[in-house]
Amino acid sequence: MNDVVKSEKSEKKLTKVRGRPLAFNQDEALDKALNVFWSRGYEGASMAELTKALGINKPSIYAAFGNKETLFRKALVLYATGPVAFVGDAMKQPTAHQAVEKFLMQAVDFFSDKTTPNGCMIVQGALTCGQSSLAIQQELIAYRGNFETTLTKRFELGKAQGDLSPTVNTKQLAKYIATVHQGMSVQATSGATREELLAVVEMAMKNWPSQLNQPKRIKHAL
């Protein structure tokens, strides 16, 4: 018990030594940091850019969020639970086909939104990480892997409920849809229009396996 009290007193002393209470809104600062990382990627976002965007100095950033890596991770959580939270909602559609269609259509809206940076932060971030940021790159790859797992589970449910053909390889289908989404992200970053992205969605949905894998009817001789 005495050790706990001593620990708490030590933490209070350290807080006092580090300076005055934070004079800025951390939520607003994190939102600004998210936009910088989203636009520039992890490696592309310099501390100079971050301090300018957040309107605070480096010591204040370190005191509130830790180092650049920690700040990026917090921004990534904000991104996953905010701007791209529509993914989870799309998976709640009645059928797997409807779930994917809604997800891709909302992705088009997302990529076409002129009020936010182009593309997907997770996709673009993983593509621009170098050797010095392998840990961050692996985390972003893990996020993408979790997304594919979410799709796979939704497709397994579709098979169980009968709206997906029992012959469908759900992991392959999940990889395919994830690849379509990631390709749309790259295209959006390169300036693809909303109409062009919608055409990609239309093509992907035309190749939906529940339609392609329907058993052929056998014609009986009269």
DSSP 85-150: THHHHHTTSSSHHHHHHHHHHHHHHHHH-TTS-SS-HHHHHHHH--GGGHHHHHHHHHHHHHHHHH
Task: Give the model confidence (pLDDT) of 183-203 as tens digits.
Answer: 999 999 999 999 999 999 999
DSSP 21-47: PP-S-HHHHHHHHHHHHHHHHHHH--H
Domain 24-80 sits in CATH 1.10.10.60: yes
Task: Give the model confidence (pLDDT) of 38-70 as tens digits.
Answer: 998 888 889 999 999 999 999 999 998 988 999
pTM above 0.85, yes or no: no
Q: How far, in Å, CA of 2 to CA of 5, rounded?
A: 5
CATH number of the 83-209 domain:
1.10.357.10
pLDDT, mean of residues 171-185: 96
Domain boundaries, given as residue ranges, for the chain: 24-80, 83-209
Is the pLDDT at 165 greater than 80? The verdict is yes
